[in-house]
Chain A
Amino acid sequence: MLDLVLAVIVAVMLVAGGVFTFLAALGIVRLPDVYTRMHAASKAGTVGSGLMLFAAGIHSLDAAIFTRALAGFVFFVLTAPIAAHLIARAAHEAGYRLSRHTVLDEMRDARERSNKKR
């Protein structure tokens, strides 16, 4: 009985993780510019891989493997936003334009102001 419950939980987490990861990939294709794409990659990607890591940890029924999965998730949470932030920042510095849907860019405004002062 417990085996069945565990198997169902693991299966649900694996499928949900797979769906989130797939949607993150789909988002990278569908969203209009590098900034919006980073949203999909950083969030849905983190949750997707996190769910799959935890599913592996639970499936093993082994504290050592579970803590390793937990550590993997923590490192993912620590590094994914930094990667997304650096890519977005580099893109903005390089002058990569925001998509035409964009309604506001206070960063460009600030930079223009400081350029005028010089």
Chain B
Amino acid sequence: MRPAFTVALFALAWLAVSGSFTIPNLLLGLVAGGLSLALIRDHIRPDGRRVRPLKLLSLVLLFIKELALSAWKVAVLVASPKMVLKPGIFAFPLTVDRDFEITLLANLITLTPGTLSVDVSVDRKVLYVHALDCSDPVGARRDIAGGFEKKILEAFR
């Protein structure tokens, strides 16, 4: 993302948190965003990566749907008198390779039905995922690769 876009995002977050939509407050948000970005400038590398808004929106919608479904599944599982569990950790080979994308994918996996990211291998090629129902790791891998990972690749490349 470009620095200007990041600062705009920070200012928007500031407006939302402070809850006052006035021009002076927007300016304050922009200045504060710029300063905070300047503070961490040595730790981030700006790249001219494009973000596709429509694909990003579709990722967000998919995420909200999966989050609702996931909470529902866990709630039903916990509320049922006999919990049927086949938990396990499976390895998911990553196609995305940038830190930002791996972080995003790991977070999305954690908030979707029955899966939880546990660790990334040192060489950043494998994501270890804990699943409540690990009876079909092949299918679970295919779901992640065809769902979130594909959408992330579409939105940020």
* Chain A residues close to B by CB (< 8 Å): 19-20, 23-24, 26-27, 30-33, 35-36, 38-40, 42-44, 46-48, 63-65, 67-68, 70-71, 77-78, 80-82, 84-85, 88-89, 92, 98-99, 101-108, 110
As a 0/1 sequence over residues 20 to 38 of chain B, the CB contacts with chain A under 8 angstroms (1 = contact) are: 1100000000000000000
A112 to B153, CA, bound (A): 32
Complex CA gap A96/B50 in Å reads 42
Contact status B88-A23, CB under 8 Å: no
Asked if A46 meets B114 with Cβ closer than 8 Å, knowing A40-B74, A68-B19, the reply is no
Minimal beta-carbon separation of B16 from chain A (angstroms):
4
The answer to whether A106 touches B89, judged by C-beta atoms less than 8 angstroms apart, is yes
Q: Are A92 and B15 in contact (CB under 8 A)?
A: no
CB of A81 within 8 A of CB of B126, answer no
Q: Say which residue of B75, B87, B91 sits within 8 Å of A36 (CB atoms).
A: B87
Residues of A with C-beta under 8 A to B21: 63-64
Q: Interface of B with A (CB < 8 Å)?
A: 13, 15-17, 19-21, 67-68, 70-71, 74-75, 77-79, 83, 85-91, 106-107, 110-111, 114, 116-119, 121, 126, 128, 130, 132, 134-135, 137
Q: A23-B79, A35-B89 are in contact. List 16 more A-B contacts (CB 8 A).
A: A35-B116, A39-B74, A39-B130, A43-B70, A43-B71, A43-B111, A47-B67, A68-B19, A85-B110, A85-B118, A88-B117, A103-B88, A105-B88, A106-B89, A107-B118, A107-B119
In the complex the two chains form, is B83's CB within 8 Å of A103's CB?
no
Cα distance A58–B74 when bound, in Å? 26
Q: List 5 A-B contacts (CB under 8 A).
A: A23-B78, A32-B85, A48-B71, A81-B111, A85-B117
Please give me the residue from chain B that is nearest to A26 by CB atom. B78
Contact in complex: A23, B118 (CB < 8 Å): no
